[in-house]
Chains A and B, each alone.
Chain A
Amino acid sequence: MSVYDLDPLLLARIQFAFTISFHIVFPAFTIGLVSFLAVIEWRWLATRNTVYRDIYKLWVKIFAVAFGMGVVSGVVMSYQFGTNWSLFSDKTGNVLGPLLGYEVLTAFFLESSFLGIMLFGWGRVSEKMHFAATVIVAVGTLISAFWILAANSWMQTPAGFEVRADGILYPLNWLEIIFNPSFPYRLVHMVIAAYLTTAFVVGGIAAWYLWRKAHVKHARIMLGMAMLMAGFVAPVQLFVGDLHGLNTLQHQPAKVAAMEGIWENETGAGLRVFGWPDEEAEETKYAIEIPKLASLILTHDMNGEIKGLKNWPKEDRPPVAIVFWSFRIMVAMGLAMILTGVMGAFLYWRKRLFESKPFQLWCMAMTPSGFVAVLAGWFVTEVGRQPYTVYGVVRTADSVSPVLGQHVAFSLLAFIVVYTFVFGAGSYYILKLIGKGPVFKPVDDKPDLPGREAAPFTPTAKPVSGEK
């Protein structure tokens, strides 16, 4: 096969999957992280406990790196719709364009402008203004999530539009477009996911500090906050995820059939814990089932009916194996998070939360769980939407740009090389910052405004060795 035979559609899909997967990791982390920072800064201003200030200074540096990588990988996204999906852009621009436009106007500028104050304004603006900047950036990330998830949800459950004779989609009702049927579920599910992702990163790092007996005061606060999230919010996510699944069953039953690996219409369908969906043979091989559980979860009735994939012609089905497996990975991560919360609560009750070594190891292992769950979840929802870009309206094959396969191959290769290098380096610097820990240098507070009391250099803020 020569480069001239490369399938531009497949390559464009791989390129989009690759760049968006890299991108989503950063917003998923920063949405939660900046809210965490806002809480920490509020505690610092309220208690004047320098431990909080040091935690802020550590995580704001990590936030800067992660946010920078999110920005640059996000700029790529805003151009890729045109470079690789120009027919999609032409058809859906009337509907999706305004949503993305609002995201830039109401969120991106807000975040990027006040980020400057958040990162470099310490000591230059008043403490209240600095806190306000942190809160504004946090609100900005949530506004951004609102618009981008409205756009994505509309692609999943399109509403409030019509297709005219020219083949172009035109808006009929903006409220129906924005608040399309799957939007509320996806928004809540994703924001909670972002918060949990951050919680498990913060908790994992805290556990590592406790393991090394370094920065113990900081680590206790960080682990405590992470466990609050794991204990109270992870179970809520299970409930929200269930609602989201019911919504998907209603609007995209083929996706649910792929998630469950169900081929025939079944009443009292069993939950396939494991199995191998075989798209040629149209069956899920080697399945280990829990009887009736899938029907119970999806229809809230032991004998409810679930439609199988064979209801749709082969060319209208999503790729089954990816959806099936990604869904299991996501659920497994979610259950592990809930388990962490339960263990945390138990240890807290036994007053061993900050001492138990096995639990510290477990938390360290759980550090990337949020990222894994977020990526797996997006694989479920995006691959499950195939073979459409706008579900039931615009097919993926009718969305791609008239660009030759070899050029997409070139750009895909370039993205893989550059992203691996750049984001590898970014991860390395984040790890380096974590390794250094919340060490407060008095130099950081130097550009104090006249008349403002300089922050005292207290024993809690001593370098690493001082705490051992």
Chain B
Amino acid sequence: MRLAQHMAVASDRVRATAIEANEFPDLSRAYRVAAVPKIVINDRVEFEGALPEAQFLAAVLEAAAE
């Protein structure tokens, strides 16, 4: 969550939404959350667990690509 929040403050284009998985079972099911943290970017790129900044950025860029 830390990187997502920092990226949101760094860029007007980025929004970071923290979702408490247990309180939103429908959303968790829809996004197939099996382990946490699970990160889903633009509903296109997803991964589980913490990533170093460079890899997290790569996932953001992939999700934002045309």
Is the pairing of A and B real? no
Residues of B at the A interface (CB closer than 8 Å) are none
